[in-house]
Amino acid sequence: MPWKETQAMDQRIEFVMRAMNCGNFGQLCREYGISRKTGYKWRERFVEGGIGGMEEESKRPHGHSEALEERVVCEIVALKGAHMHWGARKIRALYWRKKGGREVPSESSFKRVLERAGFVERRKRRIAREGGRLASGRKAQAPNEVWTTDFKGWWRGGKGERVEPLTVRDEYSRMILEVRAVEDARTETIRACFEELFERHGLPAAIRSDNGSPFASTRAVLGLSRLSAWWLALGIDLERSRPGCPQDNPAHERMHLDIRRELQAGRMGRDQEAFDLWRQEYNTERPHEALGMACPAEVYRPSERPYGGTPQELDYGAMEARWVSVNGTLQFQGESIMLSSALGGWNVGLAPQENGLMQVWFASLLIGHIDPQTSGFKPIEGQGQKRSGSLADSATLHRPKNRTAAHNGPDNLNQNMQPLTQHV
């Protein structure tokens, strides 16, 4: 006889009456098609409540959002109103903090309250994919292992001005290191911003960016730009997303969505103070699900690699070092060989191979080969080869010192590079 909860109450009574004097309880349960656990439950109900205990109990939850006090509902709605783009989980964590860690309603109760109040917004999740060239697919396992950077898509401020903030974020801690309303996207402007960040937080192990200017150059060897060449010279690895694939950097793009909703929607202009206040709230007050509802500032710590300024030259050990002119050419066997204007003012390392070709290294990256027979340069294709260990581990960085302008070092590229330490 199959047991169904919709069966008549007299069948339940019949079962418990037989169960009171049954020698084989398991066989009786199998006869009625129920588990031993269900059989014990009905027998205990009968012992404790008699016939009345046999009635089916309501499956309605003992507690739900409609049973919350009006005061609690108003507090939840008020918090949501102050943080319109936070989800139920973040709102609950913030409510728990404001209540001093006391017990608060469940997450499902928060969701139902916000849904009834019309605050629920459905969104699709994007799947992260493996990065493209100059990308190892590395994922940060500690603060400052990977910084991510990009420009937030521009908008018009209240006075019609163009606003296109530079954003920099620590991948592991989700700490927003910068939201800067830059005047332009020139290399000098963006380099000045990163110099401030390096002085404040130290150097990251790698920086992930897209393939756009000034982070990369699609026409240069391995996509190097003057900015990314500077990063390499500082011992920072490059991680690049595939061209036209923002899904390769999904967490950064998700942060941009918050900026669009909370800053761009209000037609925020070049008010850096407002940007800084928003960033402070994001870092110190906003709980993050991936951090166990901790705030980014509670997880982040400064880098153990301090910024000591821009090196004037790079030490390639046993390799032969050669300087690259401002226009990107290298003198080799009396010939001018074009490498890349992004390397102008830096020195490269040359290493002969058994096949007669000459390897050309910049910092920790193999960028191509020179054929002494033709004095031609062939850029490396694909990901490029790295020296064992980072530049900071395998080579000496010669820090700024007085040198003659004949070397055309990185600080003598042009006059525009002079105000790099000024605040942007």
For 26-55, write each residue's pLDDT tens digit.
Answer: 888 888 888 888 888 878 877 777 766 666
In a domain, 123, yes or no: no
Q: So what's the pLDDT on residue 93?
A: 92
Nearest to 362 by CA among 314, 414, 416: 314
In a domain, 375, yes or no: yes
In a domain, 371, yes or no: yes
Alpha-carbon gap, residue 60 to 39, rounded angstroms: 22
Do 378 and 329 share a structural domain?
yes
Q: So what's the pLDDT on residue 103?
A: 85
Nearest to 370 by CA among 333, 326, 328, 316: 333
Beta strand 313-314 with 320-323: parallel, antiparallel or unpaired?
Answer: unpaired
Do 96 and 29 share a structural domain?
no
Q: Name the domain boundary from 100, 116, 132.
A: 116
Q: Give me the residues of the chain with pLDDT under 50, please.
A: 1-6, 126-132, 389-424
Do 168 and 98 share a structural domain?
no
Q: Name the domain boundary from 299, 322, 356.
A: 299
Do 365 and 271 share a structural domain?
no
CATH value at residue 280 = 3.30.420.10
- Kindly report the average pLDDT of the chain as a whole number: 81
Nearest to 130 by CA among 138, 122, 121: 138
Using the Cα atoms of residue 185, residue 385, residue 335 and residue 371 in order, give the sign of their dihedral: negative
User: Distances from the Cα of 280 to the Cαs of 3, 147, 157, 177, 417, in angstroms?
Assistant: 60, 18, 21, 10, 30
215 Cβ contact partners less than 8 Å away, ≥ 6 residues apart: 149, 209, 225, 227, 228
Range of the domain at 30: 9-54
- Structurally, how many domains does the chain consist of? 4
> Is the pTM higher than 0.75?
no
Q: So what's the pLDDT on residue 308?
A: 93
In a domain, 294, yes or no: yes
Q: So what's the pLDDT on residue 391?
A: 42
CB 345 within 8 A of CB 408: yes
Do 383 and 360 share a structural domain?
yes
Do 211 and 256 share a structural domain?
yes
In a domain, 414, yes or no: yes
Q: So what's the pLDDT on residue 57?
A: 61
In a domain, 60, yes or no: no
CB 202 within 8 A of CB 305: yes
CB 7 within 8 A of CB 33: no
Q: So what's the pLDDT on residue 294?
A: 94
Q: Which amino acid is at 224?
A: L
Q: So what's the pLDDT on residue 402?
A: 34
Q: So what's the pLDDT on residue 4?
A: 46
Do 353 and 379 share a structural domain?
yes
Using the Cα atoms of residue 287, residue 293, residue 294 and residue 297 in order, give the sign of their dihedral: negative
Do 93 and 50 share a structural domain?
no
Backbone φ and ψ of 200, nearest 5°: -85, -40
CB 276 within 8 A of CB 167: no
Do 280 and 237 share a structural domain?
yes
In a domain, 141, yes or no: no
SS3 301: coil
Do 158 and 280 share a structural domain?
yes
Do 352 and 292 share a structural domain?
no
In a domain, 140, yes or no: no
Nearest to 190 by CA among 170, 171, 212: 212
Q: So what's the pLDDT on residue 128?
A: 36
Alpha-carbon gap, residue 278 to 265, rounded angstroms: 14
Do 209 and 327 share a structural domain?
no
Q: Name the domain boundary from 238, 269, 299.
A: 299
